[in-house]
Structure 1
Amino acid sequence: MTTRRSFGHVAAGLSASSALTVEASATPAHAGRVLASWNDGAAQSAITDFVQAVTTAGSRDFVPVAARIAVFDNDSTLWCEVPTVQLMFAIDRVRQLLPQHPEWRTQQPFKAAIDNDMSALAATGQRGIVEILMTTHAGNTSEQFAVVVADWLATARHPKSGRPYTEMIYQPMLELLDFLRHHGFRTFVVSGGGVEFMRVWAEKVYGIPPEQVIGSTIKTRHQVSAGGTGELFRLPAVDFIDDGAGKSEAIGKFIRQRPIAAFGNSDGDLQMLQYTTRGSGSRLGLIVHHDDAKREVAYDRNSDIGRLAKALDMAGPAGWVVVSMKKDWHQIFPDHDGEQTDGSS
């Protein structure tokens, strides 16, 4: 019986230089190099060694293509979480819907959103955030909601960089997605974010089709329109939260196979990392550690968003790779107009 092997440390006898070449999403200066935005080091080597081991025919770690499944958290793993993009969408929706709800001017948590008072909004706690999300995401069909999201993304900008949110994605992770898919992996998003919010843009931005996006859901009701068309009407009620243990439960329900690689950034990804790496055979668990205040942001244990404490403590004993954005990535975001943009401007 094959025993589980973790690639949190460089696998003995393998060299990163022997990894198969692949055309990654790289900057022109590094085109042709595997994981071009990753600095040489243990993190990059652990990834390339793992992929070589599980994709080399005849290797004791070989994994058939059908079982090559990799799961990725979204917020702070694939794109920025400061600010949280879907929350920014919800706040803008509050202002857009305000003419229909003038009472919101004096009601929390809506007043805080209208006033852009993040401290007051935070004081409403999780209940307040959920109320805003439910109220602004419901009252329409799935198709109508998709149009609202697409229209917002076309004009919304990150408050610090001034770039579209769909450009505030991590170049090294885009390269990793391409690298894995080049070697026969199916890549899935498994996120606490709203599934219908992410499915609007995930394929264009990440190359991940809608059916491979798993996330939190609100309840829907089938109804027939005046024209006789069947529609799914979105209700202001939580159906499923895809976070914590919910992530591994959703993987079992929708993917129906245990992944062999998992990528996250916070304690919300802990159970997904555990579920993935405790299977038999070769496994890869990776945590993106936000420790680069100059080029992005630095936060972990004491953060209200993307808290990383338990998973960070467990990473060493579990053999998970902890990626330092500061040390392991020489580029954070994709180039823009031929210039590297790191979001620090």
Structure 2
Amino acid sequence: MAATGAQVLVADAAEVERIQLRSRDAVLEVTPALGGRVLAFGLAGHPNLIKIGDPVVSQPEPEVSATADDIGYLGHDVWLGPQSGWWSDQDANPARRAARAVWPPDPYLAFAQTRVVAQSPDRLVLEGVDSPVTGVRLLKSFAFDPADPSTLDVSALARNIRERPVSRDLWFNTRTSAATRVYVPVADAADVRIEAAEAMAPAWRIDAGVFSFLPPSTAGTLRRGKVLLQPSAGWMAGFAHGQAFVIRFDHQPRSAIHPQQGQVELYLDHGEDIAAGLLEMEVHAPYRTLAPGEAMQARERWTVMRYDGADTPQAHLAFLCRRMQLCAASMAE
């Protein structure tokens, strides 16, 4: 699958095992390694919409321990929120607990080899390991919708493996290029929180009920920071490489989401070469307390479509309204 200036959906060599799912329209690649991570998604014959890091090739067998640091594999991953609690409720690394560390993410969820539970040409289920850090075991599933070959169901189930309650939320994190034009339905500026140094904070606007980033005003602009959003409807969309990428999810009231997080979060990090930078499209599920053995589940629906229109917010939003019925006049739920 040839492409210019972008990752392609099929690698020349498999440094980690890659399982490919196909529908009539789209292709997904997942590795059972690295916690069961998505490495590629997009229309067949089109560039990969998922950004992955060099360590997928250079460090295919990471250490799995409570002392391991983060490795920039990127891709699509599942975390457990809130971030402030990543190391505060565990005994596997007392030093990180004492420091109230908010980094790195749980190495057992991020790095461990998963077990293939079910596999077919259009469906894959992976089971992770018991994590002594987060206190859960994850089950991830990926399946193309037989009624809509452009849509993929992505779900995660977290089960409490401890003999006491744990309080967590499921947190989907999908990485793409910072050049992706991203849109989130938001009713008001009061539903937007910024976590960034003022000099580097991403510039943004809300127009006709839709949040978007403003393009850099000058060449070489450095942007790094996180935007936490309370969306007005259960979707966000990105446009890149001639494709529209829509992520849909169950819309939640603000009260269901941990107060330190947003239901939608966008992390933006780029310098002069925006295409080389990073955009994370993140979704939090409701914050729950699980009894021993209890599980919770969350789901996203990914839809990918060819887009040949103008690279403007007006054209992008008109396309979403026409093709997905995601129209400004009907965004509030």
TM-score of the superposition, structure 2-length normalised?
0.26
The structure, 1 or 2, with the larger RCO (C-alpha pairs under 8 Å, 6+ apart) is: 1
Structure with higher helix content:
1
TM-score (norm 1): 0.25
Greater Rg by CA: 1
